[in-house]
Copies of this chain bind each other. A is one copy, B any other.
Amino acid sequence: MRVGVLTGGGDCPGLNAVIRALVRKGVQEYGHEFVGFRDGWRGPLEGQTKQLDIPAVRGILPRGGTILGSSRTNPLKVADGVRRVKENLAKHEVDALVAIGGEDTLGVAATLSGQYGIPCVGVPKTIDNDLNATDYTFGFDTAVNIATEAIDRLHTTAESHMRVLVIEVMGRHAGWIALHAGLAGGANVILIPEHRFDIDEVCGWVESRFKVRYAPIIVVAEGAMPKDGELVTKDGTLDSFGHARLSGIGDWLAKEIEKRTGKEARTTVLGHIQRGGTPSAFDRWLATRFGLHAIDAVQDGDFGKMVALRGTDIVRVELSEATAKLKTVDPALYAEAGVFFG
């Protein structure tokens, strides 16, 4: 059996751990051969491959990124895309394809598998943890640890000075990183895309915090929005408030708080450091187990499925179910965190 592997979408610590587990188990236990496709769906679309065997996966477990490269290419949006993918899979004698990616990458896999008979198994990946049907995706724990360590360091300054500290974390559509890191880091305010915030309420929390002689730390997801704000530009900035394009919600918030409370505010924008570097132990464990179970599904001929975490078990779910909707933060869960605000 020859198994193709591709990784699509944004960076995510743990991708290499999945690839390694697939290859180790596939080769050693099932006698599979592997074909690595380069740069996500561009690989099968354009027939770009990379050797993928046991020596190729040696030492990659702790490394961020992906040895296969990635892209956002979507063969369904390319003229004749499906036919070209099929041809290239045939040319490389690929019997099954493992697609590791987020909503978009897996959505393609769901369609190719369901409508065009290409035997796909999916492995869920998103740093934002917003993929349905799995308790967690790998990469998320790493991002939360990085953000939490950053918040920890801000506490020192918060103790010593009278400044508001704003930290902007990833999360355009879902506030999982902000919520987990905010709780783990002991933030005084957590703002997420799922819940439009009231800037007056935020300023109230800021002022009540100063009364205990301690400066407030505010964690804000990049996709969070004020109640009356409007997102006018594609990159999440708030032009309706008259601010520059590359300046995000963190800077906007700091500026508004300064204006309204008279307190100095400073911003940290974590940016891509949240999705780079070595994966946490949890993410390596999860990614490794996803890889082991995905190759089992391939061996079983159980296509159109995605591996998923449920409790401590790895299960198989329909690819279509997994990509049907975004997993956002439940209002009740967000409310639970509210006891620590202010």
Interface of A with B (CB < 8 Å)?
11, 13, 24-25, 28-29, 58-59, 61-66, 69-70, 135-136, 141, 144-150, 152-157, 159-161, 163, 165, 167, 180-181, 183-186, 212, 214, 243-247, 251, 254-255, 266-278, 280-282, 284-285, 288-289, 292, 310-312, 336, 339-340
Contact = CB atoms under 8 A, between A and B. Distances in A.
A289 B336 contact: yes
Given A62-B186, A183-B284, A282-B282, A165 B272 contact: yes
A186 B61 contact: yes
Contact of A275 (B58, B156, B280, B336): B156
Given A282-B144, A292-B339, A276 B310 contact: no
A155 B247 contact: no
Contacts of A136: 312
Contacts of A152: 62, 276-278
Nearest to A64: B156
Contacts of A63: 156
Contacts of A65: 156-157, 159-160
A271 B271 CA distance: 12
Nearest to A141: B282
Given A276-B154, A336-B292, A141 B281 contact: yes
Contacts of A281: 141, 144-145, 147-148, 180-181, 184-185
Contact of A246 (B245, B255, B274, B282): B255
A157 B336 contact: no
A34 B277 CA distance: 30
Nearest to A314: B336
Contacts of A254: 246
Closest 6 CB pairs of A and B: A64-B156, A153-B276, A156-B276, A153-B277, A268-B271, A184-B284
Nearest to A151: B273
B24 A156 contact: no
B268 A267 contact: no
A73 to B, nearest CB: 13
Contact of A311 (B141, B145, B311): B311
A60 to B, nearest CB: 9
